[in-house]
Amino acid sequence: MSAIQQLCGFAAALERLLSARDAAALDEMWEELNLGQVGWEALALARRANTEALEPALAEVDRRLLAVLERCRALLDPHIVTFRVPELERWQHAAAAALVGARWGVAGLRTVIADTRAPLGRRYFAFLALAERHPKQAWPLFAKYLETPGAHHAFVAAAAEAARYYPGEAHNVIALFQRIRGDQMLRRFLGPKILESLYVLGDPAALPLYEELLVTGHTDPDLGRCEVTRALVGVRKLTGRVAASSKFPDPEEPDVIRALDEAQRIFEEERDRLQPVVVI
Q: What separation in angstroms does the CA of 117 have from each of 88, 122, 126, 232?
A: 21, 10, 14, 44
As a whole number, the mean pLDDT across the chain is 95
Residue 280 has what pLDDT? 58
At position 159, the amino acid (one-letter code) is A
| Distance (Å, whole) CA 7 – CA 51 | 12
51 pLDDT band (50/70/90 cuts)?
Answer: confident
Residue 49 has what pLDDT? 74
Residue 273 has what pLDDT? 92
For residues 256-275, average pLDDT = 95
Residue 88 has what pLDDT? 97
Q: What separation in angstroms does the CA of 31 have from each of 22, 26, 71?
A: 15, 9, 17
Contacts of 181 (CB under 8 A, 6+ apart): 187, 191
As to burial, measured by CB atoms within 10 angstroms (0-12 exposed, 13-18 middle, 19+ buried), residue 266 is middle
Torsion of CA 143, 183, 262, 154, to 10 degrees: -50
Torsion of CA 189, 194, 197, 198, to 10 degrees: -150
Contacts of 64 (CB under 8 A, 6+ apart): 11, 14, 15, 18
Residue 1 predicted with pLDDT over 90: no
For residues 80-90, average pLDDT = 97
Residue 274 has what pLDDT? 94
User: Are 102 and 52 within 8 A, CB to CB?
Assistant: yes
154 pLDDT band (50/70/90 cuts)?
Answer: very high
- The long-range contacts involving 47-53, CB below 8 angstroms and separated by at least 24 positions, are 47/94, 47/97, 47/98, 47/101, 47/125, 47/128, 47/129, 47/132, 48/3, 48/129, 48/132, 48/133, 49/132, 49/133, 51/3, 51/98, 51/101, 51/102, 52/102, 52/103, 53/4
**Of residues 49 and 148, more confidently modeled:** 148
| Distance (Å, whole) CA 73 – CA 80 | 8
Residue 203 predicted with pLDDT over 70: yes
User: Are 26 and 20 within 8 A, CB to CB?
Assistant: yes
Residue 279 predicted with pLDDT over 80: no
Residue 252 predicted with pLDDT over 90: no
The model's pLDDT over 104-137, given as tens digits with 9 standing for 90+, comes to 999 999 999 999 999 999 999 999 999 999 999 9
Residue 278 has what pLDDT? 83
For residues 183-194, average pLDDT = 96
The model's pLDDT over 216-234, given as tens digits with 9 standing for 90+, comes to 999 999 999 999 999 999 9
Residue 77 has what pLDDT? 96
Percent of the chain with pLDDT over 90: 95
Work out the number of other CB atoms within 10 angstroms of the CB of residue 196: 23
User: Are 238 and 115 within 8 A, CB to CB?
Assistant: no
The pTM assigned to this predicted structure is 0.94
For residues 236-241, average pLDDT = 96
